Structure 1
Amino acid sequence: MYAETVKFPKMARVKQIIAQTAINDIKGAVREELESINVAGRIKPGEKVGITVGSRGVANLKIIVEVIIEAVKQVGGEPFILPAMGSHGGGTAAGQVEMLNSLGIRAEALNAPVLACDKASQIGTTKQGIPVYVNDITLSGQLDKLILFNRVKEHTEFEGEIESGIHKICAIGIGNPQGALAVHQYSLDYGYEQTITEVGAYIIKQLPVAFAIATVENYYHETAHIKAMLPDEIMEAEKKLLKLAKASLGKIPFEAIDVLIVEEMGKNISGSGMDANVIGRIQVFGQKEPEKPVIKRIVVLDTTVESHGMATGIGLADFTTKKLVDKLDLWSTYFNCITAQSPEKGRLPIYFATEKESIGAALTCIGITKPENARVVHIRNTNEVEVIEVSASLLPEVLVRSNLELLTEEKPMQFDESGNILKISAG
């Protein structure tokens, strides 16, 4: 119905000018950082060492883990890969292994066993009375030391000095589903930053942490910074790394949008499927919504293969497609949303059989603005906003801005015979 009755706006392709730096020699940079903290002085010969690996897509993940494993072996330690992903992977040990496999982290490829475990036990409480849970593997005597590895980045559900990084992989990752649930529950009352920081700091103090190593990525998801930290340096170092990460964020270059079209969402893109910092929606109880951008309607068209059917964050959209709904693994989606205390993010939007119908429906829900005059932005996903498509009504702004380059002239919004919009990646 909407595909036939709505007059779609004309669109043009635009490029944002984004200057970023990156590390060329990843192995060399990791080795240099590890040398700076004297690994031999932190790990004794014969010690069994667990290296945390989460479920997020981290640039150069396999290379970095390989170098850490190499460093442990060089000083006589025995390295193990420790999945640290909270409730991801369906909250099961097998799911954790499958998630790591999808990221290229396999025991046989790295010559280091994977110690997967879906159970956790409480090791104490913080000053605020927040229970602290730790993966049973780390409490069983199988490991003598821990290396905390993670990417430092902005969180999708709150803003603070510490968001997603070393403290989070301790508080939520190492805690398995039990720890993840506790952190999210207490965050509704105490706030995310305080809860994650308190629990993370407690774990860092109580467990035999040898050191931590973190990365920061630039807009292009290239490794831009690598930092090794001793336990008592983690807090302040992570704050500095977060500032670097936020300076590299990619955003949609408009503050007021009628309809945002997102080609794909996914856990490998953002913890909430779509980055709240990009779409301007958080939907977390007790957390303030971003003031900008203001987007009336969001249409998400598909989910990534790497998400394995988990669509946490689908509730952030107003419209979607039957194609996406048919791919949903409802159990893993619901489990993750409930664990995160965010049932709102698991709600299904209105959906239609084709992308054209869904976009058309969204264009009818923007108030008095005519669809053909709507301010529309079309992006691949919230991690890729360098090349985007914008409607004709936004072109006057594009033409006067030095950080935006017009790549094509405006032309009718294009759909194929199946009602799918021409993807940005299709050129």
Structure 2
Amino acid sequence: MSGSSAAGWGPFEAIRGLRPDGVIPQVTPIRRLLPDVPTEQDPYAAAQAALAPLASAVRPGARIAVTAGSRGIHDLVVVVRAAVDWLRAAGAEPFVVPAMGSHGGATADGQREMLAGLGVTAESVGCPIEATMETVVLGNLPDGTPVHHDALAAKADGVLLVNRVKPHTDFHGPVESGLAKILAIGLGNHAGAAALHAGGIPSLGGAIEAAARVVIAQGKILGGLAIVENMLERTAAVELVAADGIADAAETALLQRAGSLMGRLPFDELDVLVVDEMGKDKSGTGMDTNVLGRCWVHGIPEFESPSIAAISVHRLSAASHGNASGLGLADVIPARLLEQIDLRASYVNALTSGAGGARRSRLPMVLEDDAAAVLAAVTMSGRRDWSELRLARIRDTLSPNELMVTPALLTEAAERFDLEIAGTARDLTDASGSLGGWQDDDDVGSGKE
């Protein structure tokens, strides 16, 4: 977004003037101890083994579309490559199709770019990447809503879904984010995503299930490779869900497993949460609402915990390609992040998601730099005595188990068996106004541009 230079701004000094005695305490790195975390050591082999039951369903020469979405799944490239290799060994002709609704600015080129940003290229997965925004309508829901399906997938001889199964950021039900969603919304492209979201969040879960069943009834869905990740955002399991188990009990069981493994903040109450980076590769809402404890779908927080008074977020991931949908979950940002935003990509995605998506894309307060943004968040947190400030910093909502915390939280952490100190105390921001480094004597993860 051009024209947002911070040169000559004065809000920072104005805020400092409100609390000339206010000094933000130093922060200390801590990490959550996670013994016995279930982890799949060889996701490639696990994916290929999971596909074995499909051997009789793949005929030689069949063109099979393999889905790839817009999320930053840790082993996405590995699992897609495994699926492509397995299909080719079975005699099929696989190709990858983006399955991400309206993301990438709702253009075929934009979606190819998003996949490339996630490492999914023709070279990395070993087959062509084919993309289109065109759809065919396969039927209608009982209320008349059309069920759109990607035109390339519709022309294929079969479709193999690949996606992570996890709790959704807006609603909870028997089926949330996973195979049914990538089938109904991801492969629905812009038109399909808009149609299903038009009924609002309360009806979205049911619409996804119903639309997925309409597509499955066409007989071309081979099944879905479901990736379940652990609280370290590493693959815990790769399992095949048969077509008749998608949007049904088999997918629900995986969702429950994923929910039990999901990473969350180790504190229920914070004055300030500093998030280094947000983006569509992190969550559909830029920052996972299950981690933040706020959703704003109806203009109010909709989670009981955690309770966070103020949130600052400091940059947009490169893989988002300017899509800052979900930025309104934050209260304050530095001007640098404003420069990273592509309004068209952000608004197309937000409006496709309905009223909730539009509300979450409102612009937070904008300050000169990281230091000013944090200071503003602290000021609005309601904490009178800053020596008692409960502030935590995380890299992104995919990484809630590694934090930097102020002394008030460090004292609490020291009394817990599941948390350990991982470094020495340091200033949250440096002399230039940028967030400091995560490692001792190192700027790795510093957030500096």
Q: Normalising to structure 2: TM-score of the pair?
A: 0.89
TM alignment of 1:25-424, pairs within 5 A: 25-35=42-52, 37=53, 39-139=54-154, 141=155, 143-188=156-201, 190-234=202-246, 235-285=248-298, 289-341=302-354, 342-367=357-382, 369-408=384-423, 410=425, 413-424=427-438
C-alpha distance in 2, partners of 1:356/1:119? Answer: 45
CA 1:16/1:109 → structure 2, altered by over 3 Å: closer, same or farther? Answer: closer
For the 8 Å contact 1:187–1:195, the answer to whether it is kept is no
- In 2, the alpha carbon distance for the partners of 1:87 and 1:174 equals 10
Q: Which segments of 5 or more consecutive residues in structure 2 lack a partner in the other structure?
A: 1-12, 445-449
CA 24–310 in structure 1, closer or farther in 2 if over 3 Å, else same: same
Name the residue aligned to 1:21. 38
User: Higher mean Cα deviation, 345-354 or 367-376?
Assistant: 367-376
Q: Secondary structure at the match of 2:380?
A: coil
- Asked if structure 2 preserves the Cα contact closer than 8 Å seen for 1:392 and 1:410, the reply is no
| 363 and 96 in structure 1: CA distance in 2 versus 1, 3 angstrom threshold | same
Which blocks of at least 5 consecutive residues in structure 1 are unaligned?
none
Q: Which moved more, 1:318-327 or 1:45-54?
A: 45-54
Tell me how far apart the structure 2 counterparts of residues 152 and 272 of structure 1 sit (CA, whole Å).
16
| 1:112-145 deviation line (CA, Å, top 9, x unaligned) | 2222101223221123433211112233x3x111
* Partner Cα distance (1:110, 1:399) in 2: 45
Partner of 2:6: none
Q: How many residues align?
A: 421
What's the CA shift for 1:262?
Answer: 0.8
Task: Out of 118-127 and 247-256, give the one that drifted further.
Answer: 118-127
Distance in 2 (CA, whole Å) between partners of 1:264 and 1:215 is 24
Cα gap change, 1:207/1:285 in structure 2, threshold over 3 Å: closer, same or farther?
farther
How big is the shift at 1:149? 1.4
Q: Tell me how far 1:17 sits from its aligned partner.
A: 0.9
How far 1:314 moved relative to its partner?
A: 0.7
Q: 1:222, 1:367 → 2: CA distance?
A: 37
Contact (CA 8 Å) 2:163, 2:182: kept in 1 or not? yes
Q: Could you say what secondary structure the match of 1:97 adopts?
A: helix
3-state SS of paired residue (1:312): coil
C-alpha contact (below 8 Å) 1:85/1:173 kept by paired residues: yes
- On the 8 A contact 1:49/1:77 being kept in 2, the answer is yes
Deviation readout 1:344-363 (Å, 9 max, x if unpaired): 12111011111111111111
Q: Does the 8 Å CA contact 2:383/2:389 hold for their aligned counterparts?
A: no
The letter for the 2-side match of 1:112 is C
Change over 3 Å in CA distance of 1:417–1:368 after alignment to 2: closer
Task: Tell me how far 1:367 sits from its aligned partner.
Answer: 2.5
Report the secondary structure of 1:364's partner residue.
helix
On the 8 A contact 1:14/1:408 being kept in 2, the answer is yes
Shift of 1:258: 0.9
* CA shift for structure 1 position 10: 3.2
> Matches of 1:243 and 1:13 in 2, distance apart?
31
1:192 and 1:280 map into 2 onto residues whose CA distance is 20
- What amino acid is the match of 1:350? M
